[in-house]
């Protein structure tokens, strides 16, 4: 199952040229620096602060809340953008869809033409997510791709691939690991990984306790 994309366009390179908006932004930045209203150091510091804020922590919080709060999970699966607004989280795309992994269904997210990605929830996208190989093979042979990530699914598990767009982002709600009944929501969030929210991995199992 893939979200429709305009496949009549040629796939973009792994590191596509900046679009019109990006070029306009760079031109404005260069002009502000030239006029003395801004410095390159200030730009760098702002980018660093933004990068530090972009971590998977928000997505981990959302998934952990879904594991512990059935009402929140129901609202998340019905309308994810509205549900996460209750946690003071917003995403850059107009729409956000949460999909739940089960014993019989495993969900994977890709963006076949570029690298649309819910940065506000998952942090900075990994290089492999933007690679041409992942963008093409995740749709054509998802089971093999998952196996290469170390995730081997039973043959009877259905794989659904969701294709992100500029208007649509996806969040995979992985299955809650067994043996976590006594963990707090904060402890559960530590088990959620970026890759599990993309769908190329399961959530981590808790470390065994030692006596």
Tell me the catalytic residues.
Answer: 111, 114-116
- 107, exposed or middle or buried, with CB in 10 Å at 0-12, 13-18, 19+? buried
**H helix and E strand count, the chain:** 11, 4
* Other C-beta atoms lying within 10 Å of the C-beta of residue 124: 14
Q: Which residues contact 201 (CB under 8 A, 6 or more apart)?
A: 149, 150, 151, 193, 195
Query: What's the DSSP call for residue 170?
Result: E
How far lies 29's CA from each of 43, 65, 100, 139, 167, in Å? 9, 40, 41, 38, 26
How far is 47 from 52, CA to CA, in rounded Å?
Answer: 9
Structure tokens at 9: 């366009």
Report whether 68 contacts 185 (CB < 8 A).
yes
The residue written with tokens 């093979």 in the block is 137
């Amino acid at each position: 199952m893939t979200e429709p994309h305009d496949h009549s366009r040629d796939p973009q390179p792994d590191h596509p040229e900046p679009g019109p908006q990006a070029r306009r932004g760079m031109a404005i930045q260069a002009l502000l620096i030239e006029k003395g209203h801004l410095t390159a150091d200030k730009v760098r510091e702002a980018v660093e602060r933004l990068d530090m804020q972009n971590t998977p922590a928000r997505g981990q919080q959302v998934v952990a809340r879904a594991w512990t709060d059935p009402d929140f999970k129901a609202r998340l699966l019905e309308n994810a953008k509205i549900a996460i607004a209750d946690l003071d989280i917003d995403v850059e795309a107009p729409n956000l869809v949460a999909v739940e992994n089960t014993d019989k269904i495993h969900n994977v997210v890709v963006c076949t033409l570029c690298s649309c990605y819910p940065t506000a929830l998952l942090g900075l996208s990994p290089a492999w997510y933007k690679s041409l190989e992942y963008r093409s093979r995740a749709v054509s042979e998802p089971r093999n791709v998952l196996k290469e990530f170390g995730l081997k699914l039973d043959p009877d598990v259905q794989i659904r691939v969701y294709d992100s767009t500029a208007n649509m982002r996806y969040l995979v709600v992985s299955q809650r690991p067994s043996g976590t009944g006594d963990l707090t929501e904060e402890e559960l969030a530590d088990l959620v990984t970026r890759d599990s929210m993309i769908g190329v991995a399961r959530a981590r199992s808790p470390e065994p306790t030692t006596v």
